[in-house]
Structure 1
């Protein structure tokens, strides 16, 4: 059975993408902790991030680094926090969260709803900064 991330990757449900290549995608979180919160997700359905090949892990973290640099430019944040939790969806993913203080880096801050127009605006800002 496909994960919700696979359905987003395949276009079965909407996603607001900032990156796509043959190994991974990055799209905006629909439950962002802060504006600009993005997820980097391997196309391959891997449940636990430690099960990814070393090559895929390297690629995921390089893509994450590039996107985080763009988030810094786009949102003027102090740091971009990175979280790999792996409990919400059984498909490995990296959270990239623009932050100005540690307290922003908490799932307790996740928005229950965000307008699609906000996601599209944040994505456009990241893409422009890439």
Structure 2
């Protein structure tokens, strides 16, 4: 059975897409740690990040690095934190989380944003992509 991320990539489940290319996909986390929390995934469904080929892993990080400046411009923050948890969805993924303090990366204290707030945040991030 396809992971929820594969179903999002396939368009079966709606999302607030940030960017995609032929190998990678980025979208807003609908249960974010902070406003602007983006998930970056390879389109190929592989459960564990360190099971990715070296090329796919490096490409995933390079894709995430292209998105980071847009997040930082759209959501004023000191840094964009990077986290790999990998237990909640069996599809390798990287979290990009705007942060002003360490508590902004608290995965036990998720925000509840409206669909309108998510759409506005996604549009703002996309507006800063090169």
Q: TM class, shorter-chain normalised?
A: over 0.9
TM-score (normalised: structure 1):
0.96
**Aligned residue for 2:98?**
98
Cα displacement string for residues 20-68 of structure 1 (whole angstroms, at most 9, x for unaligned residues): 1110100000100010000001111110000111111111111111111
Query: Stretches of 4+ moved more than 2 A in 1?
Result: none
Aligned length: 129
- Give the gaps of 5 or more residues in structure 2: none
Work out the CA distance in 2 between the residues paired with 1:53 and 1:106: 29
Work out the CA distance in 2 between the residues paired with 1:13 and 1:114: 18
TM-score (normalised: structure 2):
0.96
1:114 offset after TM fit, Å? 2.2
Work out the CA distance in 1 between the residues paired with 2:106 and 2:65: 20
Work out the CA distance in 1 between the residues paired with 2:3 and 2:113: 21
Work out the CA distance in 1 between the residues paired with 2:78 and 2:13: 33
**Aligned residue for 2:29?**
29
- Give the gaps of 5 or more residues in structure 1: none
Work out the CA distance in 1 between the residues paired with 2:61 and 2:35: 21
- Local SS of the residue matching 1:71: helix
